[in-house]
Structure 1
Amino acid sequence: MQILITHSSLSASRVLHFSRLQLALALAGLLVVLTLLSGTVYHVIFLKAAREGWPIVGSVVGMIGRDEGAARERYLRENLDAMARKVGEMQARLVQLEAQGDRISGMAGFKPQDLRPLQRAKDGGGSGGPFVPADVPGSVRTTEQLADLLGALEQRADQSADVFTLIESRLFEKRLAALMVPNSRPVEGPVGSGFGFRADPFSGRAALHTGLDFPADVGTPIHAAAGGVVQAVEFHPQYGHMLELDHGRGLVTRYAHASRVMVKVGDLVKRGQLVAQVGSTGRSTGPHLHFEVLVEGVQQDPAKFLSVPESPALASAAMGSTRP
C-alpha cells in the first residue's frame, strides 16, 4: 500500500510505503486506542454524571442502571423460584420416605418409643423458628431462606437415613435368626413315627418317641434343617452314627441312625447342606432318619418347627421306628 503526500512547501511529492503487516498493526493500535478512550469517557463522564446527578447524562445512566438491576433481579427471582419448587418436591418426597419408614419400622418390630431417642438426638433437644413451606415458591424470597430450608432438609434426610439403617439392621437380625431355625425338611419323603408316646417296636411297651422318623433307602441324602455349627459326630448305642448341629440360643438338631456322616466337629454348615446319609445303625428296625430338635437340652416336637403335617397311616407304622 502506498500513500502519496504533496504540498506547496515541498519541492517534490513524498511517497509512503506500508506493508500489510504494518497496516494490520496500525489498525490494531487504533482499535486499542479507541477502546481505552471509550472506557475513559465512560468512567470519567458517565460514572461521574451518575454520582453527581448531572441533568441529562445522569438520568440516562440511571435508567441503564435500573434496567440492568431489574434484569438481574428478575433472573435471580426466576432461578430462586425454580430452586424453591425443586426443594418443595424434595420435601414432599422426604415426607413420603418418613411415612414409609414408620410403616417399615413397625414391620421390623420397632415401637414408636424406640425411635424417640434418635429423634431427640437429631433435634438437639429443642426446635423453633418460622415455618417456611418449600412447596410455595413465593414464600422463599432470599437465598438465606433457601439455604436454611436446605439445611433443615439435610438434617431430616440424615435422620431418615439413620432410621433406615437401624431398620435394616433389625431386619438382618431377623433374617439371620430365621436361617438358624430348623424349619427345612432334612429328608424328602413322608414322615413315619411322630413325636409322642407310642408302643416301642422292640418291647411293645408304651414309650416316648423323642423325634420324627423319615423312612428312606440307605444312602439317601440328609440335609441340614438350618445353618449352624457341627458340635458332635459320634457313634451312640441307640442313635447309631449321629451328628448334632448347634444353631445358637440353645437350639440343637440331632440326626441319628446315619450310614455315613459327611461333616466333622467344628464345621460351619448352611441350610440344606448335605451332612449325612440315611442308614439303620444303632437301635433301629430299618433304614430311616431319626430327627430331633432340642431346646436347652430338652427334646421338642420337630413338627412344630418343620410345619409338616404327619400322615396318620405312616405315624402308626412301626417301620423305621426308634426309641432313644
Structure 2
Amino acid sequence: QRQALLTAVMAGEGYNKELAAATLPVPAAKDGVEAHVLAPLTKVETRQAALAVPAQAMLDRRYADTAAAIRKLGLKPERVAKRSAPAKGAAMGGEYIPANSAEAAADLHADQQFRTLFQSWKKMDGLQQGTIAIPSVQPVANLQFTSNFGIRSDPFRGTAAMHAGVDIPGPVGTPIYATADGIVAHADRRGGYGNLVEINHGKGIATRYGHLSKILVTDGARVHRGQLIALMGSTGRSTGPHLHYEVRMDGHAVNPVPFLTTADYLLASQDHSVHQIPVSTDGPAAQD
C-alpha cells in the first residue's frame, strides 16, 4: 500500500481514498520471526521511507506553484480547492507497547511520514480538481482583442462607459468554447448582449459569451472545459461580428485578460496566423 501511494504521487495520479490504509501503522513483527525473513522487508521499508522525502518535496512544489498561479488571478486557493468528505476512521486496536526503543521510534516516524505524504497528496488533488472551475482556456481558437475591460468610449454614443468584458473579433460562425466546466445558467437572448450564454462554474465564478449568432447549449446543461457551446455573431448592441466575453466573481465583472493570457495561451496564439478582421465592438455591459 505504501509503494502504491509512492507510485501514485510520483506519477501525478489523483487522490484515491483506498490508499488511506498506507497511513496506518505497520504491525510489529511477532516474536520468533527469523532475521533472514525480516531483512528484505526491512530493506524495502527503508527504501520507501527514503523515497517519501522527494515525493513530499515534489508535492509541496506542485502545490506552491498551483497556488501561486491561482493567486495571480485574484483568487484564494482555499476558495478554489475541492473539499472531499472526511473518510471514516479505520478500526484499530492491539496490545499497548510503549515506544521506548529505537526501532519503535523509527516505526512511529515512518508512520507519520506516510500520513503527512497522504494528506499532502489529498490536498494537492483537491486544489487541482477545484481549478476546473477557473476559466483557463481560450473561448476561440484565434485570440485577439479589439476592446478591453474597463472605461472606454461607447461605440454608439461616444461617451465614457464601463465595458465589463473584452471583445474578441472573428467571422460569423466562429466556434465559441466553454472556458471551464460548469452549468449553463442562461442560453437565450438578453438585452444588449443579444444571444447570450452564461455558465456558472461554481465557487462564485461565472462566464458570459455575448452577441452569438447561434446557441448550441440549453439552460441547465452541464458543459466541460473546451466544449463547443455557440457560434460567433453580431446580435444585440454590436457594430459587427465578435464575441463579448466576461468573467464574473460573486456577480461582479472582473478583467478577463489574466485568465486568457497565461504563458501557454500566449504561446498558442503565436502559433496562429493573424488575419486582418474588421474591428468590431459592442455596447456597455450596463445593458444586461
Q: Which category of TM-score, normalised to the shorter sequence, fits these structures?
A: 0.5 to 0.7
Q: Say which of 278, 281, 286 aligns to 1:321.
A: 281
In 1, Cα distance between equivalents of 2:176 and 2:130: 22
Amino acid at match of 2:209: Y
In 2, Cα distance between equivalents of 1:157 and 1:230: 48
Alignment of 1:175-324 (within 5 A): 175-189=128-142, 190-307=144-261, 319-323=279-283, 324=285
> Are the counterparts in 2 of residues 218 and 279 from structure 1 also a CA contact under 8 Å?
yes
In 2, Cα distance between equivalents of 1:285 and 1:221: 19
Amino acid at match of 1:131: A
Alignment of 1:23-34 (within 5 A): none
Q: Which runs of 5+ in 1 are unaligned?
A: 1-76, 111-117, 133-147
Closer, same or farther: CA 93–265 of 1 in aligned 2, 3 Å = same
Q: Partner of 2:248: helix, strand, or coil?
A: strand
In 2, Cα distance between equivalents of 1:125 and 1:200: 77
> Are the counterparts in 1 of residues 172 and 231 from structure 2 also a CA contact under 8 Å?
yes
In 2, Cα distance between equivalents of 1:205 and 1:265: 35
Q: Which one has a larger percent helix, Structure 1 or Structure 2?
A: 1
Alignment of 1:77-226 (within 5 A): 80-104=34-58, 106-107=60-61, 127-132=98-103, 162-189=115-142, 190-226=144-180
Q: Partner of 1:218: helix, strand, or coil?
A: coil
In 2, Cα distance between equivalents of 1:259 and 1:125: 73
> Are the counterparts in 2 of residues 104 and 167 from structure 1 also a CA contact under 8 Å?
no
Q: How far does the alpha carbon of each residue in 1:32-81 deviate from its partner, in whole angstroms, 9 at most, with x for none?
A: xxxxxxxxxxxxxxxxxxxxxxxxxxxxxxxxxxxxxxxxxxxxx9x944
Q: How far does the alpha carbon of each residue in 1:106-135 deviate from its partner, in whole angstroms, 9 at most, with x for none?
A: 34659xxxxxxx9xx99x999522324xxx
Closer, same or farther: CA 318–208 of 1 in aligned 2, 3 Å = farther
Which protein is bigger by CA-based radius of gyration? Answer: 1
Q: Which has the higher contact order (CA 8 A, sep 6+)?
A: 2
In 1, Cα distance between equivalents of 2:189 and 2:41: 70
In 2, Cα distance between equivalents of 1:177 and 1:130: 44
In 2, Cα distance between equivalents of 1:322 and 1:186: 17
Q: How far does the alpha carbon of each residue in 1:13-50 deviate from its partner, in whole angstroms, 9 at most, with x for none?
A: xxxxxxxxxxxxxxxxxxxxxxxxxxxxxxxxxxxxxx
Alignment of 1:15-30 (within 5 A): none
Alignment of 1:51-66 (within 5 A): none
> Are the counterparts in 2 of residues 183 and 307 from structure 1 also a CA contact under 8 Å?
no
> Are the counterparts in 1 of residues 184 and 222 from structure 2 also a CA contact under 8 Å?
yes
The percentage of aligned residue pairs carrying the same residue is: 32
In 2, Cα distance between equivalents of 1:249 and 1:81: 56
* Displacement after TM superposition at 1:82 (Å): 2.8
TM-score (norm 1): 0.58
Q: Which runs of 5+ in 2 are unaligned?
A: 1-31, 65-88
TM-score (norm 2): 0.64
> Are the counterparts in 1 of residues 56 and 117 from structure 2 also a CA contact under 8 Å?
no
* Displacement after TM superposition at 1:226 (Å): 0.7
In 1, Cα distance between equivalents of 2:97 and 2:154: 72
Note the aligned Cα RMSD (angstroms): 3.6
Amino acid at match of 1:268: R
* Displacement after TM superposition at 1:176 (Å): 1.5
Question: How many positions carry a matched residue from both structures?
Answer: 215
* Displacement after TM superposition at 1:206 (Å): 1.6
Closer, same or farther: CA 109–195 of 1 in aligned 2, 3 Å = same
Amino acid at match of 1:169: K
Partner of 2:11: none
Q: How far does the alpha carbon of each residue in 1:203-249 deviate from its partner, in whole angstroms, 9 at most, with x for none?
A: 11121211111101111100001111101112112000001000111
> Are the counterparts in 2 of residues 239 and 283 from structure 1 also a CA contact under 8 Å?
yes
Closer, same or farther: CA 125–301 of 1 in aligned 2, 3 Å = farther
In 2, Cα distance between equivalents of 1:241 and 1:294: 18
> Are the counterparts in 1 of residues 165 and 253 from structure 2 also a CA contact under 8 Å?
yes
Q: Partner of 1:238: helix, strand, or coil?
A: helix
> Are the counterparts in 2 of residues 108 and 170 from structure 1 also a CA contact under 8 Å?
no
In 1, Cα distance between equivalents of 2:184 and 2:194: 17
